[in-house]
Every structure is written in C-alpha cells, then in structure tokens.
Copies of this chain bind each other. A is one copy, B any other.
Amino acid sequence: MDDIDRALVLRLQQDASQSYAALGAAVGLSAGATHERVRKLRERGVIRRTTVEVDPAAVGSGVLAYVMVDSNAWMGDSKAAFEAIAEIQEAHIIAGSASVLVKVRTATTEQLQDVLRRLYAVDGVSGTHATVVLDTFFERPLPL
C-alpha cells in the first residue's frame, strides 16, 4: 500500500470504467503492471467491488432520512432484523443515547412512515427519532 496504490484507488473511485492503459499512464505504469496492482488490491480487500453510482430520485428513492433507533436491550445481534427492511441502506451500532443509527431511502414520506412502523416491530426497539433530509449538499468518495 504505497503512494502508487493510493493514487490508483483514488482514480478508480473517480472513474472505474477507464482502461488499465489510461490508468497506468496517469501514475507512470504500464497496463500490465497496473492490472496486477489492482488485482492485488482486490485480493487484499482494499477494493471490495466495482459498482455504479445511481441517482436515488431516478429509481424511486427520493426521500432520505436518518433514524436514531432507541432500544431497551442489546442490539448487537439484530443485524438480520434491520437487513430485512429493504429501504434501510446503512445500519450502525452507535455510542450515545440511541443504540442504532439507520439511513433510510423511500419514494414518499408515507413509505418512510411505514419503515418506522416496521422498525418499532423489531425486538428490543423502544423508540425512533427520524431526521428528514431536505437537500443533499454532496456525497463523495473517501479522502486519500
């Protein structure tokens, strides 16, 4: 994981559809050597997968909210219960007054309300506190 690896990851985050020749030229490597480095980055798990970034509004997920989930029990084994709610994009165990923080995307606020209802149905959940996003300034790749 040297400077060249970091440069490769940075450029792949910006555009993973470019050729290895172009990617290599940008960091001073041949296409073959570039390919080998990227292969190893994948193997080591630094790069998890290649994916596409989708406009949420274009696929019926125009409403974004973060929900603090309070509980009266240990939530560490409840991963599956949150995964079962398709509208939950992220779920984290957190420090502080709440127990779990989830990121939710739905088409409408009615559907958001329904997600809250299903969150209350999860074992141990004693309350929710939803924060609705009015406008997203930006979402960007990791700094390197």
- Show the binding face of A for B, using Cβ within 8 Å: 1, 6, 9, 12-17, 44-56, 58-61, 64, 66, 68, 76, 79, 82-83, 86-87, 89-96, 98, 100-101, 105, 131-144
Measured CA separation A144–B60 after assembly (Å): 8
What 5 A-B pairs come out closest when comparing CB atoms?
A: A91-B137, A17-B50, A46-B58, A93-B135, A86-B143
B143 near A105 with CB under 8 A, answer: yes
B61 near A137 with CB under 8 A, answer: no
Q: How far is the CB of A122 from chain B (nearest CB, A)?
A: 12
**Which residues in B have their C-beta under 8 angstroms from that of A44?**
58
B137 near A15 with CB under 8 A, answer: no
Cβ contact of A138, chosen from B17, B60, B91, cutoff 8 A: B91
Measured CA separation A77–B95 after assembly (Å): 31
Of chain B, the residue at the smallest CB distance from A38 is B52
**Which residues in B have their C-beta under 8 angstroms from that of A101?**
66, 131, 133
**Which residues in B have their C-beta under 8 angstroms from that of A92?**
64, 133-137
Known A-B contacts A59-B144, A131-B101; A16 and B51 likewise in contact (beta carbons under 8 Å): yes
**Which residues in B have their C-beta under 8 angstroms from that of A131?**
68, 94-96, 98, 101
